């Protein structure tokens, strides 16, 4: 689910947030996501902000999905799934076709340890083709998660 369309001015705000470190957008985006929780299933028992590779996290200085997840976590008290990692430093997804995105993300994520949650909410900034969320959902299901939902700011 994504409450907004990825078009002006939302696209410009997301790009400023992610690539120009305009962290003041995080609380507003997070609050928008928190308000959208009412439209999601009630049995969600954990949150998973889409993981960044350690190198990109170091360059950017923050994980935008984790920042947007803070108001949701505060409002719900839900735990974070913290043992899903991005192990491949993939190129940016923007500008790639659906096939290229699928190839780009193949084996990009791993689970270290176990996941005890039954219904995980993946939190991301933008859903374009849905490939990132699909890859993560497939991985979560392989590790015993029964249901996966997705919440993002915008959908392309």
Q: What pLDDT, on a 0 to 100 scale, did the predictor assign at position 91?
A: 65
Look at the chain and report how many structural domains it folds into: 1
0.85 exceeded by pTM: yes
152 DSSP 8-state letter: E
Cis status, amide bond into 84, omega within 30 of 0: no
φ/ψ of 47, rounded to 5, equals -115, 140
Domain of residue 68, CATH code: 3.40.50
pLDDT tens track for 100-127: 777 777 888 999 999 999 999 999 999 9
Containing structural domain, residue 147? 4-155
Res. 89 pLDDT band, cuts 50 70 90: confident
pLDDT tens track for 124-141: 999 988 999 999 999 999
φ/ψ of 28, rounded to 5, equals -65, -45
- Could you give the CA distance from residue 130 to residue 127 in angstroms, rounded to a whole number? 5
pLDDT tens track for 20-77: 999 999 999 999 999 999 999 999 999 999 999 999 999 999 999 999 999 999 999 9
**Has residue 145 got a pLDDT over 70?**
yes
Which element (helix H / strand E) includes 154?
A: strand 147-155
Mean per-residue pLDDT, 8-31: 95
Q: What pLDDT, on a 0 to 100 scale, did the predictor assign at position 118?
A: 98
Distance (Å) of CA 92 to CA 42, 53, 56, 100, 107: 33, 11, 10, 11, 15
- Could you give the CA distance from residue 42 to residue 126 in angstroms, rounded to a whole number? 23
């Amino acid at each position: 689910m994504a409450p907004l369309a990825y078009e002006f001015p939302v696209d410009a705000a997301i790009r400023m947030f992610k690539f120009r470190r305009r962290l003041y957008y995080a609380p507003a985006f997070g609050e928008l996501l928190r308000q959208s929780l009412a439209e999601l299933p009630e049995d969600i028992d954990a949150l998973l902000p889409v993981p960044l590779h350690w190198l990109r996290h170091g360059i950017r200085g923050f994980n935008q999905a984790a920042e947007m997840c803070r108001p949701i976590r505060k409002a719900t008290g839900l735990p974070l799934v913290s043992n899903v990692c991005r192990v491949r430093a993939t190129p940016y997804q923007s500008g790639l076709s659906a096939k290229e995105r699928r190839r780009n993300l193949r084996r990009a994520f791993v689970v270290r340890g176990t996941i005890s949650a039954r219904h995980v909410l993946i939190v991301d900034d933008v859903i374009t083709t849905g490939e990132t969320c699909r890859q993560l959902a497939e991985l979560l299901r392989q590790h015993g998660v029964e249901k996966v939902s997705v919440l993002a700011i915008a959908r392309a």
